[in-house]
Structure formats: C-alpha cells, structure tokens
Amino acid sequence: MEHCHNENIEENVEKKPLVPRTQVEKDQLITRLKRIEGQVRGIQKMIDEDRYCVDILIQVTAVNNALKKVGMNLLERHTNHCVSDAIKSGNGEQAIDELMKVIEQFSRA
C-alpha cells in the first residue's frame, strides 16, 4: 500500500500512495515474473541434462532481457507516479537523486 514511500529512509513517516498499483497492473507484472521463474527452472533442467553451453547462455540472456523489461516497467511507473508527485510537491530533488542511482545500477546489471 505504500509503494511511493521508501521505508528505509523515513521509517516513522506514514505516507499514503497517490496511486497504488491496480490489481490488473499487479497481475500483469506477476504473470511476467512467473514466466521468468519458469525460464530459470528451465535453465536448471538444461544444466541437469548437460545441454550445449551456448544454448544455455542464450536462455540466460533471454531471462536477463525479460527482467530488464520488468525493470523498465517499474521505472516508468515509479517516474510517472512517485517521482512526479515528489516534483509537484516541491520535493523533486531527493526523488531524482534516488532515481538516478537506481538507473545507474540497473543499467550496469
């Protein structure tokens, strides 16, 4: 219920989210992540069956790409809601600092 609120930084503040994820949004993300979970299990099976290394690497690459898409989706929603809201209420600087840090780490992963 508090996805615009970084609990680590402001532990005692009780903020209400402007726009919590709808059930549809949650379901879409969770469906994608379940598919990714299945792909990770598939890679375990490939290793167990001693499949060709390059074929396994192609699967690892596919999972990374799928996770990057999930990450971009989260990033977009975060910017559209949490960061936008912070900017509108005059607290953009901290939100943008945090956004830049997470983009930098995410873009190297």
Residues in the site for a second copy, rule: CB under 8 A? 1-8, 17, 20-21, 26, 29-30, 33-34, 36-37, 40-41, 43-44, 47-48, 50-58, 60-65, 67-68, 70-72, 74-80, 82, 84, 87-88, 92-93, 96, 98-100, 102-109
Q: Smallest Cα–Cα separation from 94: which of 80, 103, 105, 83?
A: 83
CB of 12 to a second copy, least distance (A): 15
SS3 51: coil
Angstrom distance (rounded) from CA 78 to CA 86: 11
Closer to a second copy at the Cβ: 14 or 103? 103
CB of 80 to a second copy, least distance (A): 6
Beta carbons within 10 angstroms of residue 82's beta carbon? 21
Angstrom distance (rounded) from CA 87 to CA 53: 48
CB of 14 to a second copy, least distance (A): 13
CB of 73 to a second copy, least distance (A): 9
Q: Smallest Cα–Cα separation from 95: which of 79, 107, 108, 75?
A: 79
